[in-house]
Amino acid sequence: MSLYRLVYYSENRISSSVADLQAEVEEILTQSRRNNALVGVTGALMFSSGYFGQVLEGPQAAVEATFERIQQDPRHGDVALLEFAPTDTRSFDTWAMAYVGEDSALFAHLGPETGFDSDKITGEALFNRLRAMVATNAAVA
Amino acid sequence: MTNVKNSMASCCISELSFQSLCMLSPAEKLTTGRPSEGPDGSPPSVATTLHITHGVVTDVAGGPTDLFGGRAVPGKPLVDLLDEAEKFGFLPGGTAASINTALAARQSKQLLSLADGRSIMVATEFAAADDMTLHFVDVSFAVQMTLSQQRDVLTGLPNRVELLRRLNEHLASPASLPQTAVLYVDLDRFKMVNDTLGHPIGDALLKLVVERMQRLLAPKDVLARLGGDEFVILQAEGEQPHAAEVLASRIIEIVGRTYLLQGHSVQVGASVGIALAATDGKTPEELIKNADLALFKAKSAGRGTFRFFTDAMDREIQERRALEIDLRRAIIMQELSLVYQPQFEIDGNKLVGFESLVRWSTSERGSVSPAQFIPLAEETGIIDQLGEWVLRTACKEAARWPEPLTVSVNLSPVQFKSPKLVSIIVGALSSAGLPPSRLDLEITEGALIENTETVLLMLNQIKAMGIKVSIDDFGTGYSSLSYLQKFPFDKIKIDQSFIRSLETNADSAAIVRAVTALGKSLGMMTIAEGVETESQLELIARDGCAQVQGYLTGRPLAADAAAELISTRT
Ligand SMILES: Cc1cc2nc3c(=O)[nH]c(=O)nc-3n(C[C@H](O)[C@H](O)[C@H](O)COP(=O)(O)O)c2cc1C
C-alpha cells in the first residue's frame, strides 16, 4: 500500500474560551494518539486560536479514513486541502502536536509530551509553509 | 450428521439475536408460506421437521442443517426441546416462549431470524386435535428479496417505496404534522465525478455522502435514496421551519467538504429543497414533489443552497408547463418566425450578412421573449426541433440573398448533445441550396464546457465543410481565452455588455482592445454587437474591431425588409 502525505489548513471553530480550547485539544490529542497509532498514521497538528494545520502521513486507505473522520468534525470548518499525494518518506516518525500563537505557555507541555520535534520543523515553519502554499495557490491533487 | 457439523451449526445459531428479528419485516410480508427457492433456484433447504403428538416429539426429519443440533429426538416434550435449544443457544432468547404462544393460538406461521443472516420460517400444520407437524424452513432468500424491494442495493437505505410507506405511517398521527419536514437532497457535480473518475469511485462517494448525512440525523429521521444522487430525508421531529433549515445548512456544509477516494480528492456539493408537512402537501407524494420543486429552485439559485417550497413555486411550475405546451404547438403551427439583423464591415460601411433571431408571438401571450422560451426549450429538449427549424428557415432565406452575404445562426450548447446535429446542418444547407461558406454558426462557450472532445470533433467536421464558426458573447464566461486555443474560430463576437459600458468603464475599452488585438494575431475576425451610439462605433473602430451589429446600424428586420435592405445596399 503506497504511502501518502496529506496537508490541510482549517478554521478553528472551538469557542474562544481558553478552557474550552484546552479541553477540546486534549480530547483531539487522546483520540488521535489512539487512532493514528492503530492504523500507522503519523504527522503533526499545529493550531492557534484561529486555525488548525495538519500533516497526515501513512498508508493511503488509513489517511483517507482518518481524514474522512476529521472532515466531519464540527470543531473546525473551511477545511482547505493543500496537498494529497504519494510520498516516499515520512517527515514525521510519530504523531505530534504543537501550539503556535499567542499564549504559547498554556500549551507548552504539548510539544515534549507528543514528541513534537521542534528541531525538525517548528510549528511556525509548518504554518509558514502552509501559508505559503495557500498564498501560491498550490495545486491540490 | 457428524459431530463436526453439529458444532458448526451450534456456533452459528448461538449468535442468534433478537435485534435482527426486530428489523425484519413482519411475517405478513411473506405473503404465502410458499417455501422459497435458493438463489440458484435449488429447492429450499428444510432445516428441520418435527412431528408432535400430545406435545411430544414423535418423528424428526433433519435437513442439511439441523436447527436443534441433534437434540430433537423422539420422546422429548416439545417444550423441553425448545427450552434446551434456547439455553444452548440454538435459538435466540425468548424464541421458545413465542413459539409456544403461537402454537397455543394455533398460529400457523412465524418468522425467526438468525444472527448469521438466515431467516427461518416456522410453518405448522395442525392435523388432529393434538397432532401437528412443525416445518422449520430456511426462507432467507425470500426475506432478502422482500428487503431488496424496500432498500437501495448500493447504500442499504430505504428506497422510494419504503420511504412512502414510512411517510404515510408518520403522517398518520396528526400531532407529528407541525414537526415534520421533507428534505429533498441532490448532489451538485456528481455526474462529473462519475464521468471523470468512473462508477466505482462514484459509488464509493455515494456511500461516504450517506455516512456523512446519517451522522447529522436524529434517531427518528429517515434517509432514503430515490436513485442516482437524489436523496430524501423525512425529518420527524423538530421545531419547524427552523429545524429543517438547520439540517439543510449542516448537510450543505458537511457534504460539501472534500472527500478522499482511492488517492483522488473529490469535491461535490449539495442542494436542498424543503417541504413542510403542516403546509406544503397532504400526501407523501405531494410533499416529495413539492420538496423537489423547491430543490429545483435551489439549484437554479446557484446550487450549494436550500429553498423552502412556496405556493409561488407551484404557480410558476404550472405556468411553465402551460408555456411548454404552447411552445410545442407553436413549432407545429408555425407561430415562430425569424428576423434578421444586419452586420456591416466598419471600414467602408459594407453589408456583409445578417444574424437570424427567433421570434414568437401568440394571440394570447403577445410576443414572448427568447430569454424566456429558449431556456425552456433547452430544458425540455424542444430545442432540437426548434433549432432544426431555425437552421432550415435561415438557410432557405439566405439562399435568396446575393453572394457572398452570410447568415448567422445561433446554436445552443444543448444541440451538441444530439449526434444528428451535423447531418441536420448538412440537410438544411442542401435543401436550401446554400453554399456552406455562407452559413456562420454562432456558439457560446457553454457548448465547450461539457463533453469538450465530442463537441470539438463536431465543430471540426462542420468547419471542414467550409461552414464558418463564431464564438458568441465573448468575454462573459470564465475561460474564454482557453477556448480560442482549442478551436480556430472564424469570428469572435465581443459581448454587448462590454460595448454598452465602453464609454463609462475604462476596463471595457481595454478588453475590447485586447480582444481585437488577439483576434488579429490569431487570424480571427472580430465583430462588436449591441452597438447603439455613434461614439461607441467610433471607439470600437479606433480599437481595431472589424465588423459591427447593433441598433445603430440596423435593427432586426423581417425577411421582406431584409431583402429590401439588401436591394438598396448592393
Ligand atoms: C483539527 C483536528 C484534527 C484531528 N486530527 C485527528 C487525527 O489525526 N486522528 C484522529 O483519529 N482524529 C483526529 N481528530 C478527531 C476526529 O475528528 C474524530 O473526532 C475522532 O477521530 C473520533 O475518534 P473516536 O471515534 O475514536 O473518538 C481531529 C480533529 C480535529 C478538529
CATH code (residue B6)? 3.30.450
For the segment B34-69, what is each residue's pLDDT rounded down to a tens digit? 334 444 444 445 578 889 999 899 988 875 556 777
Of A2, A64, A72, the CB nearest to B260: A64
Indicate whether A64 belongs to any domain.
yes
Do residue B263 and residue A60 have CB atoms under 8 angstroms apart? Answer: yes
Distance A90 CA to ligand 1 centre (A): 20
Q: For chain B, what percent of residues have pLDDT higher than 90?
A: 62
Say if residue B88 is in the same domain as residue B161.
Answer: no
**What is the ipTM metric for this complex?**
0.74
Residue A125's domain spans which residues?
Answer: 3-136
Q: For chain A, what percent of residues have pLDDT higher than 90?
A: 18
Indicate whether B324 belongs to any domain.
no
Indicate whether A75 belongs to any domain.
yes
Lowest average pLDDT, out of A115-119, B87-91, B294-298, goes to: A115-119
Q: What is the DSSP letter of B296?
A: H
CATH code, domain carrying B469: 3.20.20.450
Say if residue B140 is in the same domain as residue B156.
Answer: no
Cis peptide before B413 (omega within 30 of 0): no
For the segment B420-464, what is each residue's pLDDT rounded down to a tens digit? 999 999 999 999 999 999 999 999 988 888 788 899 999 999 999
Say if residue B168 is in the same domain as residue B249.
Answer: yes
Say if residue B517 is in the same domain as residue B401.
Answer: yes
Do residue A81 and residue B265 have CB atoms under 8 angstroms apart? Answer: yes
Indicate whether A113 belongs to any domain.
yes
For the segment B25-36, what is each residue's pLDDT rounded down to a tens digit? 333 223 223 334
Say if residue B6 is in the same domain as residue B81.
Answer: yes
Indicate whether B316 belongs to any domain.
no
Q: What is the DSSP letter of A56?
A: E
Chain A contacts in chain B segment 391-430 (CB below 8 A): none
Say if residue B160 is in the same domain as residue B141.
Answer: no
Number of domains forming the structure of chain A: 1
Q: Pick the more confident residue, B215 or B98.
A: B215
Grid cell, residue B320, equals 411553465
Say if residue B97 is in the same domain as residue B168.
Answer: no
Indicate whether A98 belongs to any domain.
yes
Q: What is the DSSP string of B206-260?
A: HHHHHHHHHHTS-TT-EEEEEETTEEEEEE-SSSTTHHHHHHHHHHHHHHTS-EE
Among A8, A10, A64, the residue to mutate for chain B (most B Cβ within 10 A) = A64
Say if residue B48 is in the same domain as residue B158.
Answer: no
Say if residue B389 is in the same domain as residue B493.
Answer: yes
Of B212, B257, B264, the CB nearest to A79: B257
Indicate whether A131 belongs to any domain.
yes
Task: Please answer whether residues B248 and B274 qualify as being in contact, where contact means their C-beta atoms are separated by less than 8 angstroms.
Answer: yes
Do residue B208 and residue A60 have CB atoms under 8 angstroms apart? Answer: no
Q: What is the DSSP string of B106-170?
A: T--EEEEE-TTS-EEEEEEEE-STTEEEEEEEE-HHHHHHHHHTTB-TTT--B-HHHHHHHHHHH
Does the pLDDT of residue B72 top 80, yes or no? yes
How many Å lie between the alpha carbon of B342 and the closest alpha carbon of chain A?
46
CATH code, domain carrying A28: 3.30.70.100
Query: What are the pocket residues of ligand 1 if the criterion is a CB atom closer than 6 Å to any ligand atom?
Result: A 28, 31-32, 35-36, 45, 52, 54, 66, 69-70, 73, 75-76
For the segment B130-148, what is each residue's pLDDT rounded down to a tens digit? 899 988 888 877 777 777 7
Say if residue B237 is in the same domain as residue B362.
Answer: no
For chain A, helix, strand, coil in percent to 5 are 40, 30, 30
Indicate whether A141 belongs to any domain.
no
Does the pLDDT of residue A15 top 50, yes or no? yes
Cell 468603464, residue?
Answer: B505
- Mark B10-41 as b/e (b = at least 16 C-beta within 10 Å): bebbbebeeebbeebeebeebeebebbeeeee
Number of domains forming the structure of chain B: 3
Do residue B258 and residue A141 have CB atoms under 8 angstroms apart? Answer: no
Say if residue B461 is in the same domain as residue B381.
Answer: yes
Q: For chain B, what percent of residues have pLDDT higher than 70?
A: 89
Residue B224's domain spans which residues?
Answer: 152-309
Say if residue B130 is in the same domain as residue B173.
Answer: no
